Amino acid sequence: MSGIFHEAGFWVAVSFVLFFVFFGRKVWAPITTILDSRAARIRHELDESAQLRREAEQMLEDATREREQALVEAKTMVEQSLHHAAVLAEKARAEAEAAVERHEQMARDRIAAVERAAIKEVRQAAVDVAIEAARGVLGQSLDQQKAEALVDQAIANLPTALARRAA
């Protein structure tokens, strides 16, 4: 009998089995309770982390959707701003051209008025010179009788001359 019963490993195994036979139920229940509660806690944490992950994914989707909407809105606003700027530029160009045309027309009108005034002044000067020349010539060449006859004839022709001038 010097075989198996003298081995320390055999006695450790026997003592281990006997320990579990006598105390196994008393020790096993608290260990399983602790392990079950730990498993339940881990399961709860896993469920909670899965829920948090779903919420995070939903938040990511919402944020992505909002970002895309914001990009679309920003692009639309930029396009509208560019269109509005183009319209304003075209309007300003048209107004500037109209103002230039008005100034040109005003300048033409002023030039025409000055020309008319100059022509009137030259005509008046020519009439004055002609009258003075006619006085000088008539004064030297007409006697009193001929002058009175010319004045009477001019008065008689006055209505005809006024009618031609009015027409």
Q: Does the pLDDT value for residue 160 go beyond 70?
A: yes
Cα 100 to Cα 67, 92, 104, 132, distances in angstroms: 48, 12, 6, 47
| Between 74 and 159, the higher pLDDT residue | 74
pLDDT digits 0-9 by tens, 110-144: 999 999 998 888 888 888 888 888 777 777 777 77
Q: Does the pLDDT value for residue 162 go beyond 80?
A: no
Indicate left, alpha or beta for 53 from its phi (over 0: left) and psi (-120 to 50: alpha).
alpha
The total domain count for the chain is 1
Domain range for 36: 4-166
Q: What is the DSSP string of 31-65?
A: HHHHHHHHHHHHHHHHHHHHHHHHHHHHHHHHHHH
pLDDT digits 0-9 by tens, 7-19: 888 889 999 888 8
Place of tokens 């009015």: 166
